[in-house]
Each structure stands twice: as structure tokens, then as C-alpha cells.
Structure 1
Amino acid sequence: MKCLRCQNQDPHFFFWINNHLYCRKCMDFGLLEVGTLPLKPHLSSRVWKGKPHLEFELKSFQKEASHQVLEYLKAGKDVLTYAATGAGKTEISLESICWYLAQGKKVCFAISRRQVVLEIAKRLSANFPELKVIAVCQGHTQITDADLIVCTTHQLYRYPFCFDLLILDELDAFPYAGNDVLEAIANQSCVGQKLLLSATPDQKSLQVIAQGKMGMVNLFKRPHEQPLSVPKVKICSRGMMVVYIFMECMRYKKKRKQVLLFVPRIQDTKWMKWILSPFMKTDVIHSKSTDKEIIMERFHDKKSQVLICTTLLERGITVPSVQVIVYRADHPVFTSASLIQIFGRAGRSYNDPYGKTSAYIQTPSQQLTKCLEQIHYMNTVSGVAPQSTHAKRFKTFFKDPNHYV
């Protein structure tokens, strides 16, 4: 017995209904009789030979990475783009998208989280104004076909055997990471090549690369060629964290800088807003927020100064000139991968590449240490910061974290 959608062969997940056998493991995507292939939907196709519209011309190192990615794909090989946050992962995939569309082939951009789907769809619409770009996710599934499809990894179940190029962004993010069903559905949706984009690649992908089954292209330098922001770390009690965060937000208010304040739990957003809102315009966003688009639009329009958020906004969100603060960065919800993404929200603007980042902890954190190591590695390898300077700051932190700030 084998489910031909999620590839499950465990008999414990099969059940009978009216003499028909079904798979319980992927039943959330609709009942499919075991041994039956999902039906391929009819999708439109067109040959398009235009070029993407870019706000800034790609740098030489970005163009080189873009060419390398396309060469792997032309050779029929999947490829992972291992890039620093803000280095332009989306932009260097545009050349490959254009090549596939010029062949009349179907392309999909899949991301784990709904909020990021909407952001990426908006960016791709600006890059390809001549094309119809749709976002397929919760609340946006009335139309499921267009020239370019952007969807959550969950929505890939709608597209078995459809895509010649499947771009999987941040495949290490929840809920895709470690989910065998979503991975099987993604594999089934792709009949050509996969382009994986990540600032924190998972061990499984690295093993496939080591075996020579997939190519890898590195891009650790941001377009403005300034180093990734190395967070200032402060060890103190939770009460003092709030005092320091309040003072930091007030300093940024005087400088007219916006702040993304990350907290580990939804309940933390409520009392943190109660403290900050009398002194500055403060909004809150988390997975249970019902008006996420309105909140984000208000922040993008600079109608709020501080946006208190959970890990919902750790990926795919670009806000120019934003500063980043993490409350209780030693909380288990903050992994090294999520912290890299969170601190990567700062310093992304070409016109203002010097965003500041801060992390407040009660005890030394192994995950935060790994995050700092990775940021240090990317800055050193890219050559945007002298190794001696970063190494000195790094050694100081490990010797005595309290002296880091």
C-alpha cells in the first residue's frame, strides 16, 4: 500500500470508507483513494520573452550568482542558493524565471508562510508588470492560475505535476521544515527543476549537495556591500530588559527610526504594547491577528513607530531603515536559524544600510551563539568586514557577554 500523493506506506495511516482505502496522513488536502494519482489541473501557458523591472541594477557579484543558478537549471540540476538575508535571493532568481517563461514553461514561487507569500507576490508584480501574478494562500484562492504563481507550500497540493521550475523559498521554515507530507507534495508538483533559496539551509539539503545531486551557489554580500548587522547582546533580568528596550525605543523615536520588536509569545505582545503605546505609536501583529495586511501597510507607511511581533515576521519582510530588538532571545522559540532571519531584517535598505540590532537574554544561549557565528562567517567570507575586527568583538563576547555592549 502506498499513497501516491504523500508517499506514505505506513499501514497505521490507512483507513477504509465504503470499501475504499484512504490515507489519513494527507487527508487535510482532500480524500484520495490509495493507489490513485492526483489529477493534474489544466493551467494556461504562454511564451513571454521580456525582462524584469528592477529598482536597482544588480551588482556584478549578484549577476554572477544569477548566471550560475541558471546554468545549473539548464543542465537539468536542482540548485540551492545559500545567501545572506537581504543579499537579493529573490532578485537573482529572476533571470531563471525569465528563461523558463521564454520556453513557455510554468513557474511557481512557493513559501511556507502566508504573510511572506503576499509580500513576494507584490514584489514580483512590480518586477513583472506585464505578467499576471497571483498569490494563492488562505483568503486568496479564488483564482489559482496565472502567468506566475506564488503560493504557500500547503497550496502546492492543488498543482500535481504542473511546474517546470519550482522555487522554494526558506525551506527550513515552519511548517515546511521536517514535514514529510509537504515535502512529498512539493516534489510531486515539480516535473522539472527546483530552485531552493535559504539563508539557513537545512542539513538534509547540504547532504544532497555533498553527494553531488544538487548544485549550490553562495551569495553572502548585500547589494550595498555593507556587513550584516551584528547584534549587541545584553544579559539581564526580564524586568531590566523592559527598561532597556523602552530606553532604546525612545532613542530611535528621537531619530525617527522604526523598530521591529520581536517577542517569544503572543501574550508578550499585549503587555509590551501597554507599556510602549503611551509614549510612541505602537502596533502588534502575530498569527492570530485578523487584520495583518492593514497592520503591515500602516507600518510600511510609517504610521506606527514600533511593531511588536512574534516570529511571524522573521522572514521575507523588507522594511527600509528598520531597527531590530529581540526580547528574551534565549527563549526556545528563537532558534539560530530564526535569529539569523530576524536580525537580517535590519540594514536591508540600499539608501540606509546601517540598521542596528539588539538581543536581550537572561542566560547565555547556544542558539544565539550559533547565530552570531553564522553572521560572523558570512561577513568574513563576503569580505565586507575585516576578519580581525569581527573576531575581536566575537572573542570579547565569549569571554564575558556583559562586556559586549
Structure 2
Amino acid sequence: MRCLRCGNEDPKFFAYDQGVWYCRRCVRFNRLDVGAVVSPPVLSRRTIHEKPELAFGLTSAQKAASAQALRYLQAKKDVFLYAATGAGKTELCYESICAYLSQGKKVGFAIARRQVVLEIAARLRQVFPRLRIVEVCQGHTTQLDGDLIVCTIHQLYRYPQTFDLLILDELDAFPYAGSDLLRAFVDQACAGEKLCLSATMDPGLEEDIRQKRVEIVTLFERPHGKPLVVPDVWRVPLWLQWILTIGYCGRFTREGKQTLVFVPRKKDARIMAMVLRGYGARYIHAACNDKDEVMEAFRQRKFSVLVTTTLLERGITIPGVQVVVFHGDHPVFNAASLIQIFGRVGRKFDDPYGKGVCLCARTNEAIRSCVSTIEWMNRCARSALSPNE
């Protein structure tokens, strides 16, 4: 037996009900009986000649990376765009999006986390005001069709054999990383080429890149030309980390800056926000029901300190934000997540530096790898080295 939606062939994930076998591995995405064909949805397709309306033009390095990615895609090759945080990964997709839409092809943008889906969709509406852009994620599933579909990876089960170009953002992030089920959804939804984006190398792609099954395009230079922010690492006892966190938040608030404080667990977020209530701190994690409202208030600078779990480690841009990581040696913070977290700092032209602080009881391999990788990317940006050099 084989599930035609998720590819499951393991007998323990099949169940028998009134004379019919069905797959239990993907049953939460609607039951699919064994042998049932998963038909592509009926979606609109139209030839669209559109150009992005950018507030700033792309740099020469961005233009070169964008053009190279499109050349590989047009040669029917999947592409991994390995770009530093803040280098403009989303902007590097615009040329490819326009090229596919001009041929009447369907384009999808799949992202691991709901919060980033909403942010990317909003950014795309600003750049492509005449396109019908729809986000499909929790709380947004009534409208499923548009010129450009932005969705969580979970929602790809709705789109079998749909996308001629599937842009897969942060493919090394939870929950996609390590999930055979979600990988099956991605493979089934993509009828053409994949354009994968990340600021951290996905171990699952390394062999494909070596074997040239996937082409790699790199960009480690941010548009403003300033280096990535290398975090200050403080190795201090846990009790002193609380004091330093309070001190840094106070300093940044006095300087008129907003601060993201990253903590490893949900309960840490609640406690930390209480400790920082003197700065009007609020907290957010995956189980919060008011995530959208809290994020919008923070964007509008209604409060200066936001405590968060790794929920906000990727895809979020807050102008001028500073970052403090509390208990940075906790296992939940791996090298990739720390690189992404400190990548929230210094992304804007008018504030390209900023401050990143990692508080830890010990400097583990994840912290050391984060610092060395950021320093390596800065060297690559300065000397235009390839990632293999």
C-alpha cells in the first residue's frame, strides 16, 4: 500500500475502516483512502507582465545573484539561494517570480511559520500592488487562489502538482526540517522547479549541491554594504544573566531602541516579561492567541521590549531592533537559530549596525559556530569568496 498524498508505505501508518484502508500519517489533513487519486485543484492561470515596484533599486551583487538564480531555474534546475540575513533573499526572488508569471505559470511561496507568511504576503503586496496575492495559513483558509500564493508548508497538501515555481523559504527551519511528511507535501506540490532560500546551510541539500542536482547561488553582502553584526558573548552565571538582560533593555530603551529578548521556553517568556514590566515588556510564543496583535503593536512602537521564543527567529524585520539572547547555551538554540536571531539586527540602511548580545553559562559548539559563521560571511562579503573557498 502507498498513500498517494504523503508517499507513506509503512504498514503501521495505515488503518482499516469498513472495508477501506486509509493513511493515518496525513489523516489530520483530511482522510485519504488508499488508491484514491489526489487531483490538482482548479486554480486560475493568467499571463501577467508585471515588474516589482521597489523603494530602492537592487545592488549590483543582488542583481547578479537574482539573474544567476533565474538562469538555473530556466535550465530546469532547482536552486538553493544561500544568502546572509538581511541580504534581501525575498527581493532576489522577484525576477524569477515575474519571469514565471509572464509565461502563465503558477508561483507559490511556502514558509515554515505562520507569522512569516503574513509578513511576506504584506511585503509582496507593496512590491506587486496589481497582483492578487493570497496568504494561506491558520486563520486564512477561505481564499485559496491568487496570482501568487503565500502559504505555510503544511498548507501545501491543498495544492498537489500545482506550482511551476515553488519558492521554499527557510527550508532548514522547524517544522519542515526533518519532517518526511512535509517534504512529501513539497515534492507533490511542485510541478516544476524549486527555489530554496536560507541564511544557514541545510545539511539535507549539501549532497545534492555536490552532485549538481541542486545549484547554489550565494550572497553574503547586505544592501547597505555594512558587515553582519557579530554578537557579544557574555559567559556568566544564570542569575547574572537576568541582571544583564534588565540592564541591556534599560540601556536600549534610553537610547530610543526597541529590543527583542529571546528565551528558550514558553514559561521563560512569561517570567521574563514580568521581570521587564518596568519597560512595558510583552511576550509572544507559538501558543499565544494574540500573536498578530502583539506584533502589530510592537511594529508601531507602542512598547519597547518584546520577549519571544524562537518563534520570531526568522523572517521578521523590525527597524533598529536590538537583540538579547537569554540562556543562549540552552539546547533549543542551535547554531542556525542563533545566526538567524542575530540577523534581526542591523538590517536597515539608516541603522546598519546595532547590538546583539548572547548571555550564556558556557560557550557551547552552537554559540562558537554561530560567531565563526557570521565572521566567515563577513570575510566572504569583503573579498567575494565562494562558500567553498
Q: In the alignment, residue 283 of structure 1 is paired with which amino acid?
A: R
Q: In the alignment, residue 219 of structure 1 is paired with which amino acid?
A: L
Kindly provide the CA deviation profile for residues 275-325 of structure 1, in whole angstroms up to 9, marking residues without a partner as x: 2112x1211111111111111111111111000000000000000110000
Distance 2:66 2:140 in 1: 30
Shift of residue 36, structure 1, vs aligned partner: 2.3
Distance 1:200 1:27 in 2: 32
Residues 274 and 281, structure 2, Cα contact 8 Å, conserved in 1 = no
Aligned equivalent of 2:306: 307
Report SS of the residue matched to 2:90: helix
Alignment of 1:123-162 (within 5 A): 123-162=123-162
Alignment of 1:22-101 (within 5 A): 22-101=22-101
Aligned equivalent of 2:370: 371
Distance 1:334 1:182 in 2: 22
Residues 221 and 384, structure 1, Cα contact 8 Å, conserved in 2 = no
Alignment of 1:220-299 (within 5 A): 220-278=220-278, 280-299=279-298
Report SS of the residue matched to 1:317: coil
Q: In the alignment, residue 52 of structure 2 is paired with which amino acid?
A: P
Distance 2:45 2:4 in 1: 26
Report SS of the residue matched to 2:166: strand
Residues 334 and 367, structure 1, Cα contact 8 Å, conserved in 2 = yes
Residues 117 and 137, structure 2, Cα contact 8 Å, conserved in 1 = yes
Q: Give the number of equivalent residue pairs.
A: 384
Report SS of the residue matched to 1:32: coil
Distance 2:247 2:184 in 1: 48
Alignment of 1:387-398 (within 5 A): none
Q: In the alignment, residue 354 of structure 2 is paired with which amino acid?
A: G
Distance 1:162 1:85 in 2: 29
Report SS of the residue matched to 2:134: strand
Shift of residue 329, structure 1, vs aligned partner: 0.4
Kindly provide the CA deviation profile for residues 88-122 of structure 1, in whole angstroms up to 9, marking residues without a partner as x: 00000000000000001100000010000000000
When structure 1 is superposed on structure 2, of 280-289 and 185-194 the one drifting more is 280-289
Distance 2:158 2:210 in 1: 32
Distance 1:213 1:145 in 2: 31
Aligned equivalent of 2:387: none
Shift of residue 19, structure 1, vs aligned partner: 1.1
Change (3 A) 1:384 1:322: farther
Is 2:354 the counterpart of 1:355? yes
Residues 82 and 198, structure 1, Cα contact 8 Å, conserved in 2 = yes
Residues 226 and 384, structure 1, Cα contact 8 Å, conserved in 2 = no
When structure 1 is superposed on structure 2, of 244-253 and 320-329 the one drifting more is 244-253
Q: TM-score scaled to structure 2, two decimals? A: 0.97
Distance 2:91 2:323 in 1: 24
Shift of residue 57, structure 1, vs aligned partner: 0.6
Runs of 5+ consecutive residues of structure 2 not aligned to the other structure:
385-389
Q: TM-score scaled to structure 1, two decimals? A: 0.93
Kindly provide the CA deviation profile for residues 323-365 of structure 1, in whole angstroms up to 9, marking residues without a partner as x: 0000000001101110000000000111110111000001221
Aligned equivalent of 1:383: 382
Residues 264 and 333, structure 1, Cα contact 8 Å, conserved in 2 = yes
Distance 1:240 1:273 in 2: 17
Distance 2:111 2:29 in 1: 17
Aligned Cα root-mean-square deviation (Å): 1.1
Aligned equivalent of 2:181: 181
Report SS of the residue matched to 1:375: helix
Q: In the alignment, residue 284 of structure 1 is paired with which amino acid?
A: Y
Runs of 5+ consecutive residues of structure 1 not aligned to the other structure:
386-405
Report SS of the residue matched to 2:378: helix
